[in-house]
Structure 1
Amino acid sequence: MNAVATLPGKKKKPAIAVAVPYWVREFALIRWGVAALACGLAVGVAAVVYSNGQLRDASATRAHVQQVRDAAYARYAYADNEKREIRTFQPAFLAMRERGLVGEENRLAWLDAIRRIQEERRLLPISYEITPQQPVTPDPRVATGDYQLHASRMALHMDMLHELDLFNFLEDLRVRGYFTVQDCAIKRLGASSQADAPALSADCTLNWVTLTPGAPAPGAASPAGRAKP
């Protein structure tokens, strides 16, 4: 057994006693509770982080679904509006197509209408000349959608017994087709002893109009200006 040597004349200092807090002395009693609390906090923090991530994903999904729903509703509203417009304007469209406004121009129908009116009204001979069809821009500008407005100019000459011959002729002609009167000049002829001799003559310029499928040409106009209704 080793003995601890001490220097002569010196005494060994006693150890200093340090008071340990009671919670340190008793930590062994609560260490499992502290560990459980730490695990619970860790689990809680992880759950909050996960929940926030799920919330962000759910918000993004909700926004996407909202956009899809809005787009689908817009398409439905557009289709429903088109159906209502078709039901509203279809009768007028069919009537215009029946009278020759919509579709390719039908010059034979125009000439046949002139011949029939001349026979029914017992008018004097009528002469006419039609120029090639050209695109026009209405004044004021009218939205024609997927259709392009075209016009064919007709130079018409007719002899008359009185002014009503011209007015009745144009009125009957308007029922059978679409046209605009660009100008009309009436001239009085010399007196004649014949009962059926013309007393007046009229020279008119008519623009027969049609709507044909096709995008409107920008800046298009008739040779003599813009067609006026």
Structure 2
Amino acid sequence: MKTISILYRFIIALVLWFLNITQWFHRSIIQFISRNRYTITVNIDVSRNDLWNINNDQMSKIQFNKPTEVLALIINERIPDTDLWKFFINSIVFFRKLNIQHLIIYDYEGYIKARETLIMNYVHEYDKKVQSSLPLPTIHFLSLIDCSQTLTKVTQTLCQQVKQNELNPDSIQIETIDRCYTKLSTIPEINLALIIGPIKSALGLHPWLTRLTEFIMIDSYKQIQTTNSYINIVQRYNLIEQRQGR
């Protein structure tokens, strides 16, 4: 009986080991397919030419070919402080040349939002240095806490309306929540979102902002350090055929 018990445990351990190996192999295959399917390829120009040296002729050739006023940078990796300032200055300088009206900078943890003042100081210092007269887009620094607080306000508003008999709880539908959220939110819907980092997810960014959003996945911020890499993003986006409905 003791031998049978040991053999039984060995078989169970072997089965569990096989299942773990199978799951690991499955995850690896999914990650490989996802990376190759959804990640754009950007050219890294070793000359690292400055974005602000693009002339007007170049910019006229890389304009968005569809209405694009709201762009989001969803950062899913930790960018070292030594690279953080340059990355965001480059991004802001480039996209404002494309007449972006709202730029959303979102990171789940709020690490970047905590550096909002420093980032904007660098941007203003840069503008003074190059004597730029181009207006900045409205820049929104967001984290998961901001998104959660907005949803909390929506819930509180609906509860208050029910309490005051202004709203029947049985009549609350998705459209009701949508109207309430739109009324409370100061950020319009996103046209284009760049998800930067190994995690291919918006990680809690308002779902109401991304209903018609085109997503482009990029493995790392290190792939967006040159003029050509930004231009490639615009070209990739321009090739996407936007569809609405079924």
TM-score (norm 1): 0.31
TM-score (norm 2): 0.29
Rg comparison, structure with higher value: 1
Structure of higher RCO (CA pairs closer than 8 Å, 6+ residues apart): 2
Relative to its length, the structure with more strand (as a share) is 1
Relative to its length, the structure with more helix (as a share) is 2
